[in-house]
Structure 1
Amino acid sequence: MANEAKTEEVFRGILDSLGYYSTNSIIVERQQSDAPKIQKLLRSASKSAKGSGAGYPDFIIRDSSYPQLLIVVECKASATEHESQSRKEYSKYAVDGALLYASFLSKEYDVIAIGVSGESVQELRVSNYLHLQHKDIAHSIFGNDLLSFEDYYKGYIKSDLKYNQDYESLLSYSKELNDLLHGKKIPESIRSLLISAVLIALENEAFTASYKLQKTAKQVTKQIVGSVREVLDSSDIPETKIKNILHAYSFIEINSTLTSDKEFILNLISEIDENINSFIRTHGYFDAIGQFYVEFLRYANSDKGLGIVLTPPHITQLFVELAEVDKDSVVLDSCCGTSGFLISAMRRMIEDAKSDSNKIDDIKSNQLIGIEFQDHIYALATSNMILHGDGKSNIIQGDCFKVNNEIKDKFNPDVALLNPPYRNNTNDPYELNFALNALDMLDKGGKCIIILPMSCSLAQKGDELELKRKLLERHTLDAVLSMPDDLFHNSKVNVSTCVMVFTAQKPHSNHKKTWFGYWKDDGFIKVKNKGRIDLKNNWKDIKSQWLSAFYNKDDVPSSSVKHKITYKDEWCSEAYMQTNYSTLSKLDWIKTIRKFIAYQFTNNIINEVDKSPVIQSPLEIKGINWKEFNAGSLFKLYRGVSSGSVTTTENKEDSGDIIYLRPSNNYSIKNGYISRVEIKDDSIFPSSTLVMGNTGAGSHTWTYLIAEEFIPNNNLTVLIPKQNLNIYQKIFLINIIEHNRYRYAYGRIPSNKRFMDSKLSLPVDADGEPDWGFIENYIKTLPYSSSLSKIT
């Protein structure tokens, strides 16, 4: 007969061998706890079906050195009682019970939940889960072994889950700090400099030990600047650069708030140490200064006008992996901002150096190069590198277009990672100029990875087209990756972007196929007061899939494609990917029919709704032959009338007034009425006509069948089939068109030419022509299709 006591004794013996009982700071409690907070949290944690009363796991383990972390263990004798499929049979299964207790304790702690089953060491089963504080679910972690408390802690503190939790906390603190500094009337433009100065001063042990002992606020601010000076002096930064940096920090000793409010400045230093420094110490190699810089300027106009946005940290890390940076790489960022790319590169290079101190010193001294034009951002960039242990920082203040030869001759970089400033004024350089400039500084065969507005890849004329020509004339375009539309949400910048990957100093071959990736979903979502974060911890798996496809240049349906291009072509996956229509189902067309019928009924175009199909025998679309057709071979396109050229009324004032339509993501497209006498006849379209939105992030490509005479505005494209089609066939086409919506965005709208050149797939007959008969009958087999027969 199974004996749970045996399992507990086996587990206790393993704890003993792992040092749990010989370490004074570790407390192991069995089925109870002396800690009042734990008692309170578990007072209603019963495993019974009624769920009332207190409940305790078989073991509760804590270490006074790490008070935020608990380990809870539940044991079962039989391996068949290890873990249920639902993980909700709390009293019967080991894992389920451990997770239940973790869910209660996670209100105040980070909890490692361990399920153990088996009556001997040989048959023991172990499952480890991590349930972070204030999170809804636990995640499997650490494999299936029991570890020492120290190893559990190291794995927990360095896990992606903990990083995401701490990053969310850092984002929240950045907003709190911004509000605090705003309340103290500290200007946005100097807030990041203040933070960076405090962080550098905290690198000085004498400052850390004595700043709280100063008698006045003026003494504290003077000590901050003096400590920054000492840290800079101990680096290899030239004296001229040190003077420039100290000049940027000079406001600290004269700002009225900082020099008069001792309690405020002392609390500020303490909070920065607790919230920012602790994050850097724990997770390392993170552009915290850049994160705060962006937060402080989110509501200011100064740097947004300069086109400066912070590259999200998961993207700077992705760039490093795309470029396959290693310990021997020489990495350049020619418009480095706060040094986010260089910090991510440093992390990877030092990891690859595997504790070789000489190599690590060489990496920091000679293999990381940044160029920054603006004085205050240069100070932030240099400070950031110093905070990450690069006291010999090669951050050069200057114009990347003027120091390029110096950089190439002195450093011979072979990797460039950059996010150039976006062009806002006619006198600003084009973004592609930065790509060309960086590539020209790289050694032959070097890799340049640059994130740019999508418009750069689409350029069809003027200076940008000429830059595309020069790029391919000198360098090879290996890949272009379409990025999430809201990637820069945290910087309050709404721009569609792509990443271009080049090989330097090798002209693009006419035979070369460029790899295009559709990387629109990185798993990040927007959360109120936290910005865009990896809330569901999906990024790790998504990144792995992306990198695998990129390294192998896989053709993945609806995700990537290889295609030969010239400088005249669009450089994006949306132009070349084949749409996967197999994901369309009957439910999609039924939904389209219902939306159309609902609009007609609501607007009194029809008086009743018939839910029945016209044809009772079902038809299946699976297994039918499909073929691609140019949209231009199927439709004639017409644009509507601009709102500024007509007078509209809110209501129908005369029987001859005609409805005026605008784009939308549903059938709420009415935009008033226009008198028939005011408009030309060729701007009026008959009922049963298809229209498609041609602009707007939320409305482009959505397609509607209009069942009354109408006038479209110029943000709608009228689609007139070249063949005489009935209402059933047009309903079918709506889903085909909308299924290609992914091809378009605010930066790549479905213009007439772009849509006409696109491919649409349709079921075909034996001659390879659209099988309109099948298409009609398929719609007729669907619910509500009888209502369509009432509309002409």
Structure 2
Amino acid sequence: MAESTTENLFREFYGAQTLLEKRDIPKKFGFQSKREGSTVDGFPDFFLDMGDWLIVVEAKSGEVGLKSDHSAAEAEVQMYMQANAVPHVDIVGIAVSGQTLESLRVTHFFRKGGSELIEELDKPRALVSLDTLTKHYLAAAHGDPLSDAELTRFLTQLNVRFHKDSRVRDTERSLFFSALMIALDDEPFRNMYGSVSEPEDERLVEARYLNEQIVAAVKRQLVKKVNSESKQIDWEDRFSFVKNVDIPLVEYKSIIDDIDERVHQPSKRTTKRDILGRAYKIFLSRAGKMDNKNIILTPDHIKTLMVDLVRLGKDDVVLDTCMGSGGFLMDAMEQLVDKAHGDETRIESIHETQLIGLELDPVLFALACSNMFLHGDGRSNLMFRDSLVTRDRTFTVKPADMKLQRYVKGLKPTKCVINPPYEHDNPVNFTMSAIEYLEEGGQLVIIMPVNTLSKDPKAAKTILERARLDFVIDMPQQLFFEQGRTVKTSIFGFTKTSNGHERDALVTFIDMEDDGHEVQVGHGRKDVGRWREISRLAKRAIRDGVESPDARSWRTAIFDDAGVLDARGIRRNPWPQAETHDLYEAVADWQEARAQRDVALDHMTRILNEAGIGGFDV
């Protein structure tokens, strides 16, 4: 009976008539019995012929037992993927177990036609609609239609076209790109942009009318949702620079066509999310402006790891108090939508009430809103304003900040994932504000300089009076290599609790100096095939609170017997230090020296200017 419960949950999710059940599966597919040595026909629990590929499903109760637990479902679905009469056809296998929709465990597998190799897919991790499953299949079978390499290559080429004759200012290119992406989502614009003509008045730029249509399309799409607690933002004014973009009309339309064909349309068929954040990083780095921003963008694999670490439940409300281009919230939105199992009412609730973001930088806020719009929305609680309600490294909330504090707390955030600015006291203040906003028992995962707590014991103790430190993951020195930053960071995990951090509580530390990524000339830091296992081991070590040489994790108190705090742990890393590459160290030294030189030069120039002498040309 327990297994039939799992099968019923699967039927209810996809609809009773969507997939064939074992009694109706045509024999021509030649599935064989799962009994060892048997040559008679056998059939998976569910089956669907998608035309170019097949879906096979095996369901188990999830109860403890060799024939009933999730591993049994995984083993049997893989057997059906191999033992059949269609070895030339692509097959997606789904192993599912559990007794309630909320507790279902789901694993997806892929076998390429003509191959015996079965690959376990990283995602999806839950039952998803057939449309979403098709996107994952296409990525597994044919490669991501919007691969990292292809996206980077196209955006780099696009940057050259924007840069030509100073057509678009370097600091406005990411917003310009987002405007074109949004306009391509606007049906009136799509229907007419090809027929837009030049103005008769030669004093106007050739693309004046097209520019106006782009701004109008953006306004139509983004003006629909503005949070009442946000500073007022005039979308037409925010994108007004577009009206002066001077690109020859024929080439302009060609650029829009290329964006539609190579990014906009593929983005509808891919699971990739923070496209505009990537564009922002590429455009600014190519212009040499990334170093000038008080912003460090989180690498994609770390972004996903951090969202995974808060272990989202279906009812969680996720907060990002310095959301940048919205990457954390989009990862969280995807996970929450997966957990909604196709329930449109719940998905609407996720978009409307379970995602909260604040951002002070106007360009990044516009990119975050654009990103959310392009990926299913979720803008209802995005706010353009300063998020700090605790300042000066204390939990004191000043009267001017109390209204915002009450508003955000009223949304009842239970999980917070952030990458704050690293300068000055920002990491401490953002940590305190996040804890202040969270519900009791809420979790904060934050990446910040490794010495944030240890360099300021007083502030650290204040934080630990309000929250328990659960884990610390030390990141590679070269994590932000592509942005020219060498700050050493760690991911800190806190749980808000009125008891604070108990003196004898153990913290899980993980040495992730080696994250399986290596610097590749011309490509930045790339996974060499080990990240999936590294992240899996780290998440398991934190979840189970275990020491593991494979995960390079250890457990230790952070208060000694006398009650003295050592935020780096009373017991130090017991594992041999990971090897580092000379290239990494050389690049790190060079970047650090360059940063110190730039700071010194700015300081010297300012002093000379104040003295009326003038600076140096270097």
| TM beyond 0.5 | yes
Match for 1:483: what amino acid?
Answer: M
1:611-622 paired onto structure 2 within 5 Å = none
Give the Cα–Cα distance (whole angstroms) in 2 for the partners of residues 247 and 529 of structure 1.
Answer: 37
Query: Which structure would you say has the larger Rg?
Result: 1
* SS of match in other structure, 2:338: helix
* SS of match in other structure, 1:298: helix
Residues 156 and 127 of structure 1, relative CA distance in 2, 3 Å threshold = closer
Match for 2:372: what amino acid?
Answer: M
Show the counterpart of 2:171. Answer: 189
Show the counterpart of 2:527. Answer: 534
Show the counterpart of 1:416. Answer: 416
Residues 493 and 138 of structure 1, relative CA distance in 2, 3 Å threshold = farther
The 10-residue stretch of structure 1 (517-526 or 380-389) with the greater mean CA deviation from structure 2? 517-526
**Aligned residue pairs, count:** 467
Show the counterpart of 1:516. Answer: 509
* SS of match in other structure, 2:147: helix
Give the Cα–Cα distance (whole angstroms) in 2 for the partners of residues 113 and 238 of structure 1.
Answer: 48
Give the Cα–Cα distance (whole angstroms) in 1 for the partners of residues 387 and 230 of structure 2.
Answer: 19
Give the Cα–Cα distance (whole angstroms) in 2 for the partners of residues 526 and 270 of structure 1.
Answer: 34
- 5+ long unaligned stretches in structure 1: 1-13, 20-64, 70-93, 103-110, 115-125, 132-136, 144-148, 585-663, 667-695, 701-714, 716-745, 748-792
Residues 307 and 202 of structure 1, relative CA distance in 2, 3 Å threshold = same
Aligned-residue offset at 1:490: 2.7
Pair 1:451 & 2:447 matched? yes
Aligned-residue offset at 1:316: 1.7
Show the counterpart of 1:266. Answer: 253
Show the counterpart of 2:366. Answer: 379
1:177 pairs with 148, 154, 158, which one? Answer: 158
2:477 pairs with 478, 485, 488, which one? Answer: 485
1:121-140 paired onto structure 2 within 5 Å = 128-129=111-112, 140=118
Match for 1:577: what amino acid?
Answer: N
* SS of match in other structure, 2:493: strand
2:549 pairs with 554, 557, 563, which one? Answer: 557
1:381-420 paired onto structure 2 within 5 Å = 381-390=368-377, 392-402=379-389, 403=401, 404-420=404-420
Show the counterpart of 1:606. Answer: none
1:268-347 paired onto structure 2 within 5 Å = 268-284=255-271, 286-300=273-287, 302=289, 304-347=291-334
Give the Cα–Cα distance (whole angstroms) in 2 for the partners of residues 233 and 268 of structure 1.
Answer: 25
Residues 379 and 578 of structure 1, relative CA distance in 2, 3 Å threshold = same
Q: Deviations over 1:631-664 (max 9, x none)?
A: xxxxxxxxxxxxxxxxxxxxxxxxxxxxxxxxx9
Aligned-residue offset at 1:154: 5.3
Aligned-residue offset at 1:356: 1.1
Aligned-residue offset at 1:312: 1.6
Give the Cα–Cα distance (whole angstroms) in 1 for the partners of residues 249 and 564 of structure 2.
Answer: 62
Aligned-residue offset at 1:335: 0.6
1:90-109 paired onto structure 2 within 5 Å = none
Show the counterpart of 2:19. Answer: none
Give the Cα–Cα distance (whole angstroms) in 1 for the partners of residues 110 and 496 of structure 2.
Answer: 49
Show the counterpart of 1:223. Answer: 213
Q: Deviations over 1:738-781 (max 9, x none)?
A: xxxxxxxx99xxxxxxxxxxxxxxxxxxxxxxxxxxxxxxxxxx
Residues 112 and 405 of structure 1, relative CA distance in 2, 3 Å threshold = same
Give the Cα–Cα distance (whole angstroms) in 1 for the partners of residues 288 and 459 of structure 2.
Answer: 30
Give the Cα–Cα distance (whole angstroms) in 1 for the partners of residues 132 and 411 of structure 2.
Answer: 41
Pair 1:253 & 2:243 matched? yes
Show the counterpart of 1:366. Answer: 353
* SS of match in other structure, 1:141: strand
8 Å CA contact 1:286–1:344 kept in 2: the answer is: yes
* SS of match in other structure, 1:369: strand
Show the counterpart of 1:89. Answer: none
Match for 1:205: what amino acid?
Answer: E
Show the counterpart of 2:143. Answer: 162
Give the Cα–Cα distance (whole angstroms) in 2 for the partners of residues 511 and 161 of structure 1.
Answer: 52
Aligned-residue offset at 1:465: 2.8
Give the Cα–Cα distance (whole angstroms) in 2 for the partners of residues 529 and 373 of structure 1.
Answer: 32
Give the Cα–Cα distance (whole angstroms) in 1 for the partners of residues 361 and 411 of structure 2.
Answer: 22
Residues 391 and 274 of structure 1, relative CA distance in 2, 3 Å threshold = same
Aligned-residue offset at 1:228: 0.9
Show the counterpart of 1:615. Answer: none
Give the Cα–Cα distance (whole angstroms) in 2 for the partners of residues 268 and 15 of structure 1.
Answer: 49
Show the counterpart of 1:441. Answer: 437
8 Å CA contact 1:197–1:228 kept in 2: the answer is: yes
1:204 pairs with 162, 167, 186, which one? Answer: 186
Residues 338 and 251 of structure 1, relative CA distance in 2, 3 Å threshold = same
Aligned-residue offset at 1:210: 1.9
Aligned-residue offset at 1:466: 2.2
Give the Cα–Cα distance (whole angstroms) in 1 for the partners of residues 464 and 357 of structure 2.
Answer: 25
Show the counterpart of 2:22. Answer: none
Residues 573 and 194 of structure 1, relative CA distance in 2, 3 Å threshold = farther
1:494 pairs with 486, 492, 497, which one? Answer: 486
* SS of match in other structure, 1:256: coil
1:472 pairs with 464, 471, 475, which one? Answer: 464
The 10-residue stretch of structure 1 (484-493 or 542-551) with the greater mean CA deviation from structure 2? 484-493
Give the Cα–Cα distance (whole angstroms) in 1 for the partners of residues 260 and 383 of structure 2.
Answer: 28
Give the Cα–Cα distance (whole angstroms) in 2 for the partners of residues 299 and 574 of structure 1.
Answer: 44
* SS of match in other structure, 2:335: helix
Give the Cα–Cα distance (whole angstroms) in 2 for the partners of residues 317 and 519 of structure 1.
Answer: 15
* SS of match in other structure, 1:456: coil
Q: Deviations over 1:494-544 (max 9, x none)?
A: 2221000000134110010111011222222233333222343x3323222
Match for 2:325: what amino acid?
Answer: T
8 Å CA contact 1:483–1:518 kept in 2: the answer is: yes
Identical amino acids, percent of aligned pairs? 27
Residues 458 and 279 of structure 1, relative CA distance in 2, 3 Å threshold = farther
Residues 492 and 263 of structure 1, relative CA distance in 2, 3 Å threshold = farther
Show the counterpart of 1:596. Answer: none
Give the Cα–Cα distance (whole angstroms) in 1 for the partners of residues 564 and 145 of structure 2.
Answer: 42
Match for 1:472: what amino acid?
Answer: L
8 Å CA contact 1:306–1:421 kept in 2: the answer is: no
Return the TM-score normalized by structure 1: 0.53
Match for 2:151: what amino acid?
Answer: L
Give the Cα–Cα distance (whole angstroms) in 1 for the partners of residues 388 and 131 of structure 2.
Answer: 51
Aligned-residue offset at 1:343: 0.4
Give the Cα–Cα distance (whole angstroms) in 2 for the partners of residues 152 and 409 of structure 1.
Answer: 36
Show the counterpart of 1:731. Answer: none
Residues 199 and 139 of structure 1, relative CA distance in 2, 3 Å threshold = farther
* SS of match in other structure, 2:269: helix
Residues 580 and 280 of structure 1, relative CA distance in 2, 3 Å threshold = same
Aligned-residue offset at 1:697: 3.9
Q: Deviations over 1:716-746 (max 9, x none)?
A: xxxxxxxxxxxxxxxxxxxxxxxxxxxxxx9
Give the Cα–Cα distance (whole angstroms) in 2 for the partners of residues 322 and 432 of structure 1.
Answer: 20
1:667-678 paired onto structure 2 within 5 Å = none
Q: Deviations over 1:546-605 (max 9, x none)?
A: 211111111013701111104965544796121359x99xxxxxxxxxxxxxxxxxxxxx
2:119 pairs with 122, 128, 141, which one? Answer: 141
